[in-house]
């Protein structure tokens, strides 16, 4: 019952933002759009504070990082390979494109901002712990605000009905299936985690500002920390795939990007894969962004 209530809150805030778009005063909408790019960092700082507090409560914290990176690589690779196979079966051939060092450096800089926010939050938490002052931040309420802002943004996304054909929908489908396959494969090596937990972690699709909080709320802080780091590294691996082989296998690279294909990695799709694949990225990112909170919440409640 708790999971249904959490899912309702997430989707309601997303829906509310989507519905109120173009109905709110322009000044308020402008403020929302200005806040959105930076709100992620605020959320990451809050998440890092909770992460620091978690590390003081668990044994062998180094296992969290190693497990998360392993899951991220397995699920990202699983999505890439699954998408490649699906499009190979229907007769699609590899394509070509080009990349830019400037955009690659820019994307890596954006990732560094995310890690800086995490480091800042962790440092603040450690400082407050050192001076023995309790620090409490509601990441859940911050997430609800974030979902509302995403709803506003989605309402202005240039989605077109002609993009919704079954071939384009194979991209997010491959991400879903490939992520599960990757989770099953890595379960043979990460024996300390249950298979159902690995599958749950695989369904974050790189949505790091959501999955860690939801899993912490529904399961425990340790799994929530793994979810956070897992989805952060899924974004990193997606960018690497995009630039290393995305120019040759654009749909597979977009699939490995998961929910980030619609926002963080979209500039890389445009530059590395070409404008023809922007619809794939927008549709896939949209589908997975909406599905991730539902899938993670339902699986966490099982």
What would the pLDDT profile of 228-258 be if each residue is shown by its tens digit?
A: 889 888 888 887 788 777 778 889 999 999 9
CA atoms of 237 and 280, how far apart (whole Å)? 19
- Name the percent of the chain in helix, strand, coil, to the closest 5: 80, 0, 20
On whether the CB atoms of residues 150 and 16 are closer than 8 A, the answer is: no
CB atoms within 10 A of CB 34: 10
Pairwise pLDDT comparison (266 vs 298), residue with the higher score: 298
Pairwise pLDDT comparison (121 vs 9), residue with the higher score: 121
Return the closest-CA partner of residue 260 out of 150, 100, 161: 150
Structure token digits, residue 296? 């993670």
CB atoms within 10 A of CB 11: 16
pLDDT at 159 over 90: no
Pairwise pLDDT comparison (2 vs 181), residue with the higher score: 181
pLDDT, tens digit (0-9, with 9 covering 90-100), for 276-288: 787 888 788 888 9
Residue 92 backbone dihedrals phi, psi, to 5 degrees:
-80, 140
Task: Give the least confident one: 130-134, 164-168, 265-269.
Answer: 265-269
pLDDT at 200 over 90: yes
User: How far is residue 202 CA from its own chain's centroid?
Assistant: 10
Pairwise pLDDT comparison (180 vs 298), residue with the higher score: 180
State residue 127's pLDDT score: 92
On whether the CB atoms of residues 164 and 152 are closer than 8 A, the answer is: no
On whether the CB atoms of residues 57 and 221 are closer than 8 A, the answer is: yes
pLDDT, tens digit (0-9, with 9 covering 90-100), for 74-118: 999 999 999 999 998 888 766 655 556 666 676 677 668 777 888
Cα separation values, 142 from 112, 202, 236, 282, Å: 22, 23, 24, 25
| Number of domains composing the chain | 1
Percent of the chain with pLDDT over 70: 87
Range of the structural domain that residue 274 is part of: 2-301
């Amino acid at each position: 019952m708790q999971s249904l209530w959490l899912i309702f809150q997430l989707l309601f805030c997303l829906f509310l933002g989507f519905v109120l778009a173009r109905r709110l005063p322009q000044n308020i909408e402008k403020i929302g759009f200005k806040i959105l790019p930076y709100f992620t960092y605020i959320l990451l700082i809050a998440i890092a504070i909770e992460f620091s507090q978690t590390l003081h409560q668990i044994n062998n914290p180094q296992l969290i990082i190693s497990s998360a990176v392993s899951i991220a690589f397995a699920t990202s690779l699983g999505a890439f390979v699954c998408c490649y196979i699906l499009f190979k079966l229907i007769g699609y051939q590899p394509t070509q494109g080009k990349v830019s060092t400037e955009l690659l450096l820019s994307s890596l800089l954006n990732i560094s901002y995310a890690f800086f926010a995490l480091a800042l939050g962790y440092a603040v938490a450690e400082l407050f712990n050192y001076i023995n002052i309790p620090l409490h931040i509601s990441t859940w309420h911050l997430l609800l605000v974030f979902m509302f802002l995403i709803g506003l943004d989605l309402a202005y996304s240039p989605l077109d009905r002609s993009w919704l054909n079954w071939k384009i929908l194979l991209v997010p489908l491959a991400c879903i299936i490939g992520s599960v396959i990757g989770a099953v494969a890595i379960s043979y090596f990460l024996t300390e985690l249950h298979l159902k937990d690995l599958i749950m972690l695989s369904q974050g699709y790189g949505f790091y500002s959501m999955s860690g909080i939801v899993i912490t709320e529904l399961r425990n802080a340790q799994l929530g920390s793994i979810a956070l780091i897992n989805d952060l590294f899924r974004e990193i691996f997606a960018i690497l795939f995009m630039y290393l082989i995305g120019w040759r296998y654009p749909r597979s690279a977009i699939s490995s990007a998961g929910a980030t294909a619609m926002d963080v990695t979209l500039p890389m799709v445009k530059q590395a894969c070409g404008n023809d694949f922007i619809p794939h990225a927008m549709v896939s990112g949209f589908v997975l962004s909406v599905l991730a909170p539902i899938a993670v919440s339902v699986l966490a409640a099982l």
